[in-house]
A = this chain, B = another copy of it.
Amino acid sequence: MRRTKKERQIQLQETIADNPFITDEELAEQFQVSVQTIRLDRMELSIPELRERIKHVAEERLTNEVRSLPIEEVIGDVVDIELDKSAISIFDVKREHVFTRNGIARGHHVFAQANSLAVAVINDELALTAKANIRFKRSVYEGERVVAKAKVIDIQAANDRTIVEVNSYVGQELVFQGEFTMYRSNMTTGDEG
């Protein structure tokens, strides 16, 4: 034994984890044991064979590719809206919205809900977000329901600018705060919202 079986198996796991493309033969060479030993190790650790590993990586990539942000024009379901006054939407945090590592919702989804509600509440053909000032108050987790409440604060017809305040809650708890400055209609500058 170059080292103990346990030591080798631990290193084996790490080695394969950071390079799934390595063959049993290369592993045998690296650990100075026979190919059969490597295979026994893989069995004991339930590590699949090279081709299965590669396939798995490839499949993961293909399924993850389609997962950025949804296409619907509003993120979340608008449950109430009074144009140019206020609006409410709900958004259920699902697996595809969270970091796989820790189950915490990725901030841009929470932002997207608020931002898209700010757009929706504007009573105009075209509303674009020009500026935003946002604050994530606490993490949102998979399974939680985020309720976003938008309030139109100030309509300055003079410069086609409207300020919308959005507060998002999980239950009674404030999780997100944002102040969006929106341009409306025939403005030339500013991006969407």
The chain A residues found within 8 Å of chain B, CB to CB, are 20-21, 51, 54-55, 57-62, 64-65, 67-73, 75, 96-97, 99-102, 104-112, 115-116, 126, 128-140, 175-176, 189-193
Contact = CB atoms under 8 A, between A and B. Distances in A.
Given A61-B57, A70-B100, A105 B191 contact: yes
Contact of A99 (B73, B104, B133, B139): B73
A113 to B, nearest CB: 9
Contact of A138 (B21, B61, B109, B191): B191
A72 B62 contact: no
A140 B65 CA distance: 22
Contact of A61 (B69, B72, B136): B72
Given A55-B54, A69-B112, A134-B131, A104 B192 contact: yes
B58 A54 contact: yes
A189 B73 CA distance: 30
Contacts of A58: 20-21, 54-55, 57-58, 61
Nearest to A59: B21
Contacts of A72: 60-61, 64-65, 67
